Amino acid sequence: MDNESTFGWGPEQIGRLLAVGADAGASEDERPPGRVTEDLLRDRLAGPLPLDKAVVDSLPVILGRLCRELLPLAGKPLGEVLLDPDTELSVLETVKDYGKGLPLGRKKGPEHAIAIAIYYAAIASALLYHDRKITEHSYENLEKSFAMLIDRRWLPPDLSRHLAKAQKVCKRKMK
């Protein structure tokens, strides 16, 4: 009966399998925190917006209409959506809300940093491409937030330049 629960593997084989799994997890933890954040952000920006037609069809009419506008972007990488001047304002608002919801209660760590980067990148895009502020944050607070993000080593250069341009817009608006 013990053989059935371990598929006939002996204690030595199971021990080797567990050791391999433990080694794999340890190597990921050895990366510097900035590198983990950089890798996770790059993966998130390269991935598409998380939209599923079945989910969209089950939404109430108003939300369903908004999500149908996003469906053509479903295969487009998030990083492209954020840096595309043709991205509609409603899409940027949705991406901002997506970034705001990403940390799911986490207040620090790579996932939180990624969520903040996506959130502020969407706000920056709205400022740059639509001359609209899609947040209640003041231009002064936005300028400071963009400034803090720009210097992060884990932020891709194109996104850093994007935030720097938005920071300049905020400075002009504060005058």
Domain ranges across the chain: 1-30, 33-49+75-174
Four-CA torsion 45, 34, 124, 135, nearest 10 degrees: 100
Partners of residue 9 on adjacent β-strands: none
Per-residue pLDDT tens for 68-123?
A: 455 445 567 888 889 999 998 988 998 888 888 776 555 677 888 888 899 999 99
Does residue 130 carry a pLDDT above 90?
yes
Q: How many CA atoms lie within 13 Å of 84's alpha carbon, on the beta-carbon side?
A: 15
Q: Which residue has the higher pLDDT, 31 or 105?
A: 31
Does residue 169 carry a pLDDT above 90?
yes
Q: Which residue has the higher pLDDT, 34 or 82?
A: 82
Q: Map residue 131 onto helix, strand or coil.
A: coil
Closest CA to 146 of 128, 130, 129, 131: 128
Distance CA(53)–CA(48), nearest Å, equals 14
Q: How confident is the model at residue 23 (pLDDT cuts 50, 70, 90)?
A: very low
Average pLDDT, the chain: 75
